[in-house]
Amino acid sequence: MPRAMNQVSRTFGLGLMGLLLAVALQADSTAPRQRHRVVFLGRISSTVDPGYQGLLQALSHLPGGWRDRVELRFVTALLPDGKNRIGSAIDEALAWQPQALVGSAFVASKLRQRGVQTPVLFTSFVHPVRTGLVSATGTRPEPVAGVWIADETDAKRLELLHDAYPAARTVAVLMDRSWGEATEAVTVLPPLARQLGVELTLLYADDLQEAQTILARPDSLRFDAWMLPPTGLSYLSAVPLLKILGSWGKPVITGDTADVRRGAPLALMVEDDFRWDAQAEVLARVLQGEHPGAIPIQRSYKAVLSARPQPLGGFPPPSATVLRRADLIVP
């Protein structure tokens, strides 16, 4: 009899343990996942900054419900007309104690200068090693990862500008100083210009006001054609700059397909459609505990030539030769 009672007790005990385990597993499966705090230091507002919107959309595409697992807070770091509030923006971001910080190459460089140890994710058009964002595109010690839209095609832009407007003999390149340094413009472009038989002038402006001052000089009218690489200056101020150049009837090539859609004649743009998905994937890996320095810098290699046969705003049309080579024709 006692043996039978022990058997019943043992059976009951095992059944109870099974029931409790099942309840625990069900509770664990239905418990809300941990939400990760991430700060995006962007431009003007969350509704204006395409990077913030692109990252949100990319997170929603990731399997595993990452859009709901990330609490993404927007902090304004960059203001209109090239101004910024980066110092106070970093203070505001760090006060929230985020698990990752996301921003442009400029934002990432300022975070590095502050010695921030929170993982930093960036997107950059300039070489991240040359500009000091990271020590290597492979494994590196610093807690920084990101996407490099590997744009080293200014020489190709100059060639295309020459082919599109062969009568142009004087060309001005308007860019910010950081772009010129990162792409080694003073070393790369003048020798090519001499081969093409073009007189080249490199002009530097770090914001719209400085650029407008340059364009207001009487000698700016002497240039036959202009090149606007995809710098921070052109990203923030392309519309007013192109309006001035168009009013002069000057040929121009830029580094952004959006400029051609707005009326410019030519653009050579390194394909960047991949960047938001790549950034979301890197962010997810970091939030799962992977060291940012163990993740190779993500990059693209494909460049897209877009052209408009009948440009708007006073720009002259490019040659038929270049139109035939275009990957994208904007009517």
- Using the predicted structure, report yes or no on whether residue 17 has a pLDDT greater than 90: no
Q: Are residues 108 and 187 in the same domain?
A: no
Mean pLDDT of 150-173: 94
**Is 50 a member of any domain?**
yes
Supply the pLDDT for residue 32. Answer: 53
pTM of the model: 0.68
**Is 9 a member of any domain?**
no
Q: Are residues 242 and 286 in the same domain?
A: no
Tokens of 226: 């202009």
295 and 120 Cβ atoms separated by less than 8 Å? no
Q: Are residues 185 and 51 in the same domain?
A: no
Q: Are residues 210 and 324 in the same domain?
A: yes
Domain range spanning residue 94? 36-149+272-300
Question: Nearest Cα to 224, choosing from 164, 154, 153?
Answer: 164
Side chain identity, residue 322: V
Q: Are residues 247 and 324 in the same domain?
A: yes
Mean pLDDT of the chain: 89
Mean pLDDT of 217-224: 97
Supply the pLDDT for residue 149. Answer: 84
**Is 12 a member of any domain?**
no
Q: What is the pLDDT confidence band of residue 33, given thresholds at 50, 70 and 90?
A: low
**Is 25 a member of any domain?**
no
The domain total for the chain is 2
Q: Are residues 209 and 323 in the same domain?
A: yes
**Is 2 a member of any domain?**
no
- Using the predicted structure, report yes or no on whether residue 28 has a pLDDT greater than 50: no
Q: Are residues 178 and 98 in the same domain?
A: no
For residue 82, give the CATH number of its domain.
Answer: 3.40.50.2300
The tens digit of pLDDT for each residue in 110-139 reads 999 999 999 999 998 888 998 889 999 999
- Phi and psi at 75, nearest 5°, equal -125, 125
**Is 236 a member of any domain?**
yes
Q: Are residues 43 and 123 in the same domain?
A: yes
141 and 292 Cβ atoms separated by less than 8 Å? no
Q: Are residues 322 and 201 in the same domain?
A: yes
Q: Are residues 284 and 315 in the same domain?
A: no
Q: Are residues 140 and 166 in the same domain?
A: no
